[in-house]
């Protein structure tokens, strides 16, 4: 499951990210939780931001040190994402047709299904997060890939490997984040933007996370192990503090930067809990977990009586069960769907990975 030059801490970070994402969706089914538990579960939604930062960082490590071959890049990205995502389209379409599952593709139009299949659903409020639960982030990731040739040119030719690169990205983040808010409110209207959460789902809102990860890949070699370890542990604490921001734009920017520090610190200190066996394994299967865990949450919800949907201990037990079942199923889909198609994409391009991207 690993290549020769695989960087295990990247998968460890993906493991942290998916743990948070599952946490927030399990928490939505429970009541009577202490405020601290509710806040922690709610903050898990930012695991998607961590995925975006790690994605930019990983692609930067792979591609910013060499010329970009567009055919290679897009073929490999497609076969990395599309097969498992298309399985999600089928699964949640069937759930929507034959069950009353909360997370499903019930009642979707041919237009929204088509937009999802071609990864353009992130542009339409009627489709952005409808066909596949959580599919908005896959649409955003595909838009990042589509813009990557421009970012690749910018980082290789215009931004040197200094802290100024990160500063430039911070400035651009403010502009892009503001542009995203203006577009979503002016083009589709503030009422529809709020009702559909489109302002949050719109891919431009999350470009700063991906671009910040790219910037970090340029400056990672300048972070020494001693300071890197300090950054890592400081950011692990500061991330929680950053969640209290009331402004969505500021909140995203703060969290993106804190996750950037987390990634840089991890790359320098290589903590054992990120590079051991458990977290990298979870990270390797995290895409499958992301797609499948919504169905598992629904299945467990259907089995739990109302009396067991309250309290911290019931929440913790449900989380462990849902995460464990999702992980088992995801290992199977990773082994029999993701891995074969990833290998097929590599064979088509006839080039191995520098890291697990």
pLDDT digits (tens, 9 = 90+) for 27-78: 988 888 888 888 888 888 889 999 999 999 999 999 988 889 999 999 999 9
What distances in angstroms separate CA 84 from CA 64, 260, 342, 355, 356, one per listed residue? Answer: 27, 27, 11, 21, 17
* Contact of 279 with 12, CB cutoff 8 Å: yes
Say yes or no to pLDDT of 12 above 70: yes
Amino acid 120: pLDDT: 95
Amino acid 54: pLDDT: 96
Instruction: Name the average pLDDT for the chain.
Output: 83
Say yes or no to pLDDT of 314 above 60: yes
Amino acid 206: pLDDT: 87
Amino acid 342: pLDDT: 95
Domain boundaries in the chain? 8-349
Amino acid 3: pLDDT: 40
Say yes or no to pLDDT of 93 above 50: yes
Helix H segments across the chain? Answer: 8-27, 35-43, 47-63, 70-98, 110-117, 135-157, 163-187, 190-196, 198-201, 207-219, 225-242, 248-269, 272-275, 278-284, 286-303, 312-333, 339-349
With a threshold of 0.75, does the pTM exceed it?
Answer: yes
In angstroms, the CA 141 to CA 207 distance is 9
Most confident listed range (32-46, 195-209, 215-229): 32-46
Amino acid 310: pLDDT: 83
Say yes or no to pLDDT of 1 above 60: no
Most confident listed range (10-24, 60-74, 164-178): 10-24
Amino acid 4: pLDDT: 40
252-304 pLDDT tens trace: 777 887 888 888 888 888 888 899 989 999 999 999 999 999 999 999 988 88
Beta bridge partner(s), residue 310: 31
Amino acid 76: pLDDT: 95
Task: Name the band, by pLDDT with cuts 50, 70 and 90, for residue 20.
Answer: very high
Most confident listed range (5-9, 119-123, 321-325): 321-325
């Amino acid at each position: 499951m690993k290549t020769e030059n695989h960087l295990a801490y990247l998968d460890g970070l993906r493991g942290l990210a998916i743990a948070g994402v599952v946490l927030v969706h399990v928490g939505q089914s429970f009541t009577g939780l202490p405020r601290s538990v509710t806040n922690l579960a709610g903050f898990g939604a930012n695991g998607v931001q961590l995925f975006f930062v790690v994605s930019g960082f990983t692609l930067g490590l792979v591609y910013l040190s060499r010329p970009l071959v567009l055919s290679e890049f897009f073929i490999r990205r497609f076969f990395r994402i599309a097969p498992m995502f298309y399985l999600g389209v089928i699964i949640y379409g069937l759930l929507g047709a034959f069950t009353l599952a909360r997370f499903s593709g019930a009642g979707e139009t041919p237009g929204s299904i088509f937009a999802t299949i071609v990864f353009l659903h992130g542009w339409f409020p009627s489709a952005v997060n409808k066909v596949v639960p959580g599919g908005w982030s896959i649409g955003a990731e595909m838009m990042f890939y589509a813009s990557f040739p421009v970012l690749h040119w910018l980082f290789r030719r215009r931004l040197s490997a200094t802290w100024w690169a990160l500063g430039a990205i911070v400035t651009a983040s403010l502009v892009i984040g503001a542009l995203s808010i203006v577009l979503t409110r002016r083009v589709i209207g503030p009422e529809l933007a709020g009702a559909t959460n489109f302002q949050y789902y719109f891919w431009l809102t999350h470009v700063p996370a991906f671009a910040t990860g790219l910037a970090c890949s340029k400056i990672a070699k300048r972070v020494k192990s001693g300071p890197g370890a300090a950054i890592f542990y400081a950011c692990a604490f500061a991330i929680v503090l950053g969640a209290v921001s009331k402004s969505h734009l500021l909140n995203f920017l703060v969290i993106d930067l804190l996750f950037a520090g987390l990634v840089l610190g991890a790359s320098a200190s290589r903590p054992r809990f990120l590079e051991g066996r458990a977290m990298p394994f979870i990270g390797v299967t995290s895409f499958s977990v992301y797609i499948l865990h919504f169905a598992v949450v629904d299945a467990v919800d259907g089995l739990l009586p109302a009396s067991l949907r309250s309290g911290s201990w019931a929440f913790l037990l449900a989380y462990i069960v849902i995460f464990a079942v999702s992980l088992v199923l995801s290992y199977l889909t990773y082994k029999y769907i993701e891995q074969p198609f990833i290998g097929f994409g590599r064979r088509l391009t006839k080039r191995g990975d520098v890291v697990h991207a």
